[in-house]
A and B are shown apart, each in its own frame.
Chain A
Amino acid sequence: MNEQPLNLKRLHPTRHGRTAHGLLAALAIVALLLLLSVLLPLVWEALPALTAPFLWGKGQGAIGPEVLNTLSLVGGSELLSFPLALLVGLYRVEWVKSQGPLLRVFDQFATTMLSVPSIVIGLVVVDVAIARWHWPVSTMTGIVALALMNWPLSVAYVVEALQQIPGRYREGSWALGASRWQTVRYLILPLAWPQMVEQAGLATARLMGETAVLIYTAGVNAAVHWSLWGPGESLAVHLWLLRTEGVGQNAQAQAAATGVVLLAFVVLVLWGSKRMAQWLKNA
């Protein structure tokens, strides 16, 4: 290879920088426009159906039960999976000392679980809970399925949040006579909460949009009831159902309206978790 001497005159850092900046900005604008081109027609289409009776009425086609189901499904599964994930993550990061093969197996297992398609988890739940234990297709079954799905992800972000805290803080605490538990309780957890809450928000938002696993476990029916063992159709499943099998004159509008409501909840959860993380950080 013959090396060309570096010709400073042929380098134009400022011009290249400006070009790159302009290109990236243009891409961002295109992305934003694409998003709006989906969102605006959706809202436009949804407007006729976004009525009080549709949102919280008891009549035919009202989505009140679906809203309730979505909240119990998502809330229940977080309630089930997050504490478990926290315990596992804490044990993994704060208690296990060795870098031995067991730890590698655990990490490998966690990664594998992360990439299992949700439909597979749904099938497992159907196989075990419904077929073997004779659980009904219900909110509760859906919660278990979602929790199973959410759990590996929760472990992953808990582990990440804990690992981001520098080891020298732990050393400082131990050197003052703090036990492992005290160090976790008074130093590590307060530092890790904000990131964990924010990540939990993201995970929750993802769960809200989950359909495949829920179709078999929570079902495609909804009714006004307060039991976890009743039919548990969620907003996302409802949306899917309307879009695929919806009949009636304004099924499309109702589908769009359901989508808008779901989107609103997602945004709310994301915003809320972010605010809470911020608040925890400053506390």
Chain B
Amino acid sequence: MVEKRLTKREGVSTILDIRVQELEVWYGPAKALENVSLHLEQGAVLALIGPSGCGKSTFLRVLNRMIDQVPTVRVKGSVHIGAFNVLDDDIDVTALRRTVGMVFQQPNPFPMTIFDNVAYGPRLAGVRSATKLRQIVEDSLKKSALWDEVRGKLRRSAMTLSGGQQQRLCMARALAVHPHVLLLDEPTASLDPVSTAKIEELIVQFKGRYTMVIVTHNLQQAARVSDLVAFFEQGHLVEMGPTHDIFTAPQERRTEEFLTGRFE
């Protein structure tokens, strides 16, 4: 309570840590995650790696309760993000999702103007003042390194932007509601190398300011941007550790086999 009031008054961004204990997820009868426990410090970047269908995207979507959209899903265990008890039925999901932003695999700007895209979240949150909205939009676009490319073109449709720009617009849109945690679901999967490098640079710059979890199929990307790496396989968290240790000398045989391409 006290912490929340302080945050509101001073506008200080509180970075939040993530604590997951014995998380289990089922889709109908199929178990998608089994007994996953981990702790992520404030401001750290965690990369989730593993073969397709290993549960890393599922894990990501538990963190902002986007998993609720799946009809037959059941979730057990405990997940805390700062003061949020994420899996609590009575939790304010809107507040959670404002705190835990998300960027998707396919850039998904809304088919409206660049300005309206970024202002979408703040408007939902009740920001009405035009000056304030303009300020938020400018700040967010600057943070996502898109401002110089779109200033003076804010009334253009977001669909006129390139794929890489669209993804940075989605970053700006997520940042506009002042999150403390960012979830990135293969954010560069559909981008060219230059756009990918720009997104990666943003992630590195955001370190310390936001706690980030990124799902990626690109091991080199995980190596470049993350502080910690978690390897998932068939719903299990096989191994998690500092990026350097995982990529030079993993402890588990399965991690080793995955990283060296000796995976069956």
Report if A and B touch in the complex (beta carbons < 8 A). Answer: yes
- The answer to whether A97 touches B69, judged by C-beta atoms less than 8 angstroms apart, is yes
Per-position 1/0 for B138-178, Cβ under 8 A of A: 00000000000000000000000000000000100110010
- The answer to whether B98 touches A176, judged by C-beta atoms less than 8 angstroms apart, is yes
Q: B207: CB under 8 A from chain A?
A: no
- The answer to whether B120 touches A186, judged by C-beta atoms less than 8 angstroms apart, is yes
A-B contact pairs, 22 of them (CB 8 A): A98-B71, A99-B71, A100-B71, A166-B108, A168-B104, A168-B106, A169-B108, A172-B108, A174-B69, A175-B64, A175-B102, A175-B104, A175-B174, A176-B124, A177-B94, A177-B95, A177-B96, A177-B121, A177-B177, A179-B94, A187-B110, A187-B120
The contact of B173 among A168, A172, A174, by CB within 8 Å, is A172
Q: Which residues of A contact B197 (CB under 8 A)?
A: none
Q: Which residues of A contact B174 (CB under 8 A)?
A: 175-176
Q: In B42-97, which residues have CB < 8 Å from any A CB?
A: 64, 66, 69, 71-72, 93-97
Q: B242: CB under 8 A from chain A?
A: no
Residues of A participating in the B interface, judged by any CB pair closer than 8 Å? 97-100, 166, 168-169, 171-179, 182, 186-187, 190-191
Q: Which residues of B contact A99 (CB under 8 A)?
A: 71
Q: In B91-122, which residues have CB < 8 Å from any A CB?
A: 93-98, 101-102, 104, 106, 108-112, 120-121
- The answer to whether B124 touches A172, judged by C-beta atoms less than 8 angstroms apart, is no
The contact of A176 among B71, B109, B177, by CB within 8 Å, is B177
Q: Which residues of A contact B102 (CB under 8 A)?
A: 175
Q: Which residues of B contact A166 (CB under 8 A)?
A: 108
- The answer to whether B104 touches A176, judged by C-beta atoms less than 8 angstroms apart, is no
Q: B219: CB under 8 A from chain A?
A: no
Q: Which residues of B contact A100 (CB under 8 A)?
A: 71
Q: B125: CB under 8 A from chain A?
A: yes
- The answer to whether A173 touches B71, judged by C-beta atoms less than 8 angstroms apart, is no
Whole-angstrom distance between the Cβ of A169 and the nearest chain B Cβ? 6
- Report if A176-B120 is in contact (Cβ < 8 Å); known contacts: A168-B104, A191-B111: yes
Residue of B96, B101, B121, B124 ringed by the most chain A CB atoms within 10 A: B124
- The answer to whether A168 touches B108, judged by C-beta atoms less than 8 angstroms apart, is yes
Provide the bound-state CA to CA distance between A168 and B124, in Å: 18
- The answer to whether A97 touches B71, judged by C-beta atoms less than 8 angstroms apart, is yes
Provide the bound-state CA to CA distance between A174 and B66, in Å: 8
- The answer to whether A172 touches B104, judged by C-beta atoms less than 8 angstroms apart, is yes
- The answer to whether A173 touches B120, judged by C-beta atoms less than 8 angstroms apart, is yes
The contact of A177 among B71, B98, B108, by CB within 8 Å, is B98
Q: Which residues of B contact A191 (CB under 8 A)?
A: 111
Whole-angstrom distance between the Cβ of B20 and the nearest chain A Cβ? 19
Residue of A98, A172, A179 ringed by the most chain B CB atoms within 10 A: A172
- The answer to whether B101 touches A175, judged by C-beta atoms less than 8 angstroms apart, is yes
Provide the bound-state CA to CA distance between A190 and B113, in Å: 13
Whole-angstrom distance between the Cβ of A96 and the nearest chain B Cβ? 9
Q: Which A-chain residue is minimally distant from B93 (CB atoms)?
A: A177
Whole-angstrom distance between the Cβ of A91 and the nearest chain B Cβ? 15
Closest 3 CB pairs of A and B: A177-B97, A175-B102, A168-B108
